[in-house]
Amino acid sequence: MPGKLKKRSSKKRTMRALSLSKFKKLVVPRPDVLHGYLRHDEINLYLEYLQNRYSFVHVKLLGQTYERRQLKAIEIDWNSERNLELTERERSRRPYSCAEKITALVPPEISNMHNKLLGRRNTIFIEGGTHAREWITISVALNCIYQLTEKHMRNYELLRKLRFIIVPVTNPDGYEYTLTKNRRWRKNRRPITHSRHIGTDCNRNYDFHWENGPSKTARNTFKGLKPFSEPETRAMRNILQQNEQSLLFFLSLHSYAECIMYPWGYCKELPETWQKLEKLALTGRNAIKAYNGRHYRVGSIAKLSKRCISGSVVDYAFGVIKVPLALVMELPSHALGFQPAAESISPIGHESWFGIREMCKVAYDLATPFFSMEEGNLTNRKNSDKEQPQPQSPIIKKQSLHDVVRPTIDTVAL
C-alpha cells in the first residue's frame, strides 16, 4: 500500500508540473513600462499582455513598416460588448453593496446609448514616436495606456464616457535604429527612390498642404516623394478614416519644446474654432502647473515654432478628418533633450498624464454633439417649411430621451 501511495503522489506531482508548464506558456510577461525605454518588441509584448488580462482592451494591427515591423494600436473601450457582458455576469454573481446599487441605476450601457442618441463623439486618439529620436513621447504614450488599463479604477468615470485609441510607436523602424545605431535619427528607414538617402519625415507626409513642404532628400524634414508615400502614414490615415465619425480629440506627442499647440501649422492664420482649442490647451497647461509647477507655453503651431509646417498629422486630422479638437503636446525639456535619463521617465509620464487626463475630461464637454448630413438636411427642410404655410396635421408627441432610458433604469433598479 505505501508503494502505491507513493506512485500516485508522484504521478500527481508530474501532472501538476506539466499543467503549470503549459500555463506558463500562455502567460505573457509584463515589461516595466514606467522606468525605462523599451524595445519595439517589448512594447508589443506589453500590449499583448494587456489584451490577455483585460476584457475592455483590444490590440489592432495597422500594418507593416518597410523593415517588416508590426505597427499596432491599442483600443481601450469600457463600453465594448465583450466587457459589458462580462461585467454583467460578475454583477449577477454577487450581491450589490449600497454604493453599487447607486451606480447600477445608470449602468455603462445606458451611458453609451445616451451618447449614441445624442450623436456625440467620444473617441480620444493619442499617438507618439512619430520622430524616432523622441523616446520620451513613447514612454508618455505607454504611461497613458498604463493609467487607463492597470489603474483603470482610478479613471473609471473617464472610461465610462470615452473610448481611447493609442498608437505608442508610429515609427518603429526609426525608433529601433536610434536604439542601436544613431540616437539622433529622426525619420523612418525606407530608402528614397533614385537617391542615396534614406528616410522620410512622417510628420510631413500627410496630404494637407503637403506641396508647400521642403523637398530636399538629405534634410531631416524631407516630406517624401508624394503624400502618403510611407507605410506608417498610410496606416495612420486608414485608422483615422475608419474612426472619423467618432473622433473627438486627437493628440500628437512630441519633444522637447515644452508647449501645447493647436492648428494651423501650415500657415500663421488661426482656425475658426481656435478659442476652443486654446481653452483645451490651457486646461492641460494649468493642470500640469498645479501638479508640479512646470510651465507649458500655449499657442498655434506656426506661432510657437516660428515656422510653417506642412503635411503634419495634426493639421491633417483637424483639416481633413475633421476631428473637432486636435493638439500637439511638446514634452519637456531642452535641458533633458529628446531622451531624458531613466529617473526622469516616470515623473514626466505622470505629470503629462495629469494634463492629458484633464484635457480629455474637458474635451467631452467642450465639443458640441455633431449631426449627420441627413439631420442637417432635415433641419434646412424644416426651416424652409416654416416660410410656406402648410395644412394642419395631427400632433405627434415625440418621446424624450428620459422616457426612452427610464424603463431600463427602473428594471435595473428593481
Q: What is the dihedral of CA 10, 11, 16, 19, to 10 degrees?
A: 150
Residue 34: C-alpha distances to residues 47, 144, 174, 317 (Å): 14, 10, 22, 29
Q: Is 164 helix (H, G, I), strand (E, B) or coil?
A: strand
Compute the Cα dihedral for 254, 260, 265, 268 and give only its sign: negative
- Residue 191 DSSP one-character state: B
Are the C-beta atoms of 56 and 164 separated by less than 8 Å? no
What is the residue-wise DSSP string for 283-346? HHHHHHHHHH----EEEEHHHHHTS---S-HHHHHHHTS--SEEEEEEES-TTT-SS--HHHHH
Q: What angle do CA 57, 349, 144 make, to 5 degrees?
A: 15
Query: Whose grid coordinates read 394642419?
Result: 392
Is 134 catalytic? The answer is no
Give yes or no for a cis peptide into 344 (omega within 30° of 0): no
β-strands 247-255, 123-127 pairing: parallel
Are the C-beta atoms of 108 and 55 separated by less than 8 Å? no
C-alpha cell at 338: 529628446
Instruction: Report which residue type is found at 330.
Output: E
CA-wise closest residue to 40 among 62, 64, 69, 66:
69
Are the C-beta atoms of 225 and 193 separated by less than 8 Å? yes
Give yes or no for a cis peptide into 274 (omega within 30° of 0): no
List 75, 232, 330, 358, catalytic entry? 330
Which positions are annotated as active-site residues?
330
